[in-house]
Amino acid sequence: NAGVTQTPKFQVLKTGQSMTLQCAQDMNHNSMYWYRQDPGMGLRLIYYSASEGTTDKGEVPNGYNVSRLNKREFSLRLESAAPSQTSVYFCASRADRGRGGYTFGSGTRLTVV
Amino acid sequence: KQEVTQIPAALSVPEGENLVLNCSFTDSAIYNLQWFRQDPGKGLTSLLLIQSSQREQTSGRLNASLDKSSGRSTLYIAASQPGDSATYLCAVGDYKLSFGAGTTVTVRA
């Protein structure tokens, strides 16, 4: 099925460990995004990539790094996980301005203990 | 900074009743407004996209209106069903989306 695929779906980390969340889309979209969702709050943008080879900070970038590997893939890395990074992470993609809305992946549930 | 508010935070209605969900935003210079549905433990499913030049969009039992001058959008769901129980999220923006916290809807059979 066409769409946005995220891996893994669940992950438990110890404080200080590192990991990379993977995201891939097969819709030939230019823009890709990483959001986090916390209870009682709206989704907040961590980083985005408007096109292959570019990345920009969003609202809450501290503690994260990203890589736009190619047009299809956009990864999010936690170098030294902290309990405050316990959250549900969503990847999304979009074609271009004026060509439709956003498509979201099913999410990665991350717990940092 | 765009602020998006959804009121109420939760809503419970009997089956068959029409649902009215509200979304307000502070910056009227928006490009798009999108309504999403989120089921517990799941990702977001796009319901309707309204571009800034449009005033409403319809899909089946769903109708969303947009009034940029007042900074408001309303999602109407006609003849609600238990399967409509979910959290509904409103988001505005272009290259970056600003989300409301959502309205959790329960439709009682």
Count of CB pairs separated by less than 8 Å, A with B? 52
Q: How close are the terminal C-alpha atoms of chain A, in Å? A: 34
Q: What is the pLDDT of residues B4-53, one digit of tens each?
A: 999 999 999 999 999 999 999 998 887 789 999 999 888 899 999 998 88
Residue B41: its pLDDT value, please? 84
Is there a contact between B99 and A102 if contact means CB atoms under 8 Å apart?
no
**pLDDT of residue B75 exceeding 80:** yes
Q: Do A48 and B95 touch (CB under 8 A)?
A: yes
Rounded to 5°, the CA angle B2-A90-B91 comes to 30
CA distance B46 to A39: 20
C-beta atoms surrounding A79 within 10 Å: 12
Question: Is B13 at the interface with chain A, CB within 8 A?
Answer: no
CB-based contacts of A54-61 (< 8 A; 24+ apart in sequence): A58/A33, A58/A34, A58/B96, A60/A36
Q: What is the mean pLDDT of each run of 10 residues along chain A (113 residues)?
A: 89 97 94 92 91 93 96 96 97 77 92 97
Whether B34 sits inside 8 A of A101 (CB atoms) is yes
CB A69, CB A91: distance < 8 Å: no
- Give the A-side interface with B, CB within 8 Å: 31, 33, 35, 40-45, 48, 50, 58, 90, 92, 97-98, 100-107
Distance from CA of A13 to the nearest CA of B (A): 19
Helix and strand numbers, DSSP H then E, in chain B: 0, 11
Whether residues B43 and A105 touch (CB distance < 8 A) is answered with yes
SS (H, E, C) A27-64: CCCCEEEEEEECCCCCCEEEEEECCCCCCEECCCCCCE
Per-residue model confidence (pLDDT) at position A1:
61
As a whole number of angstroms, the distance between CA A65 and CA A110 comes to 16
pLDDT score for A64? 98
pLDDT of A109? 96
Phi and psi, residue A25, nearest 5°: -130, 145
Query: How far apart (Å, rounded) are the C-alpha atoms in residues B99 and A60?
Result: 14
CB contact under 8 A, A107 and B42: yes
Tell me the chain A residues in contact with residue B95 when contact means C-beta distances shorter than 8 Å: 31, 48, 50, 97
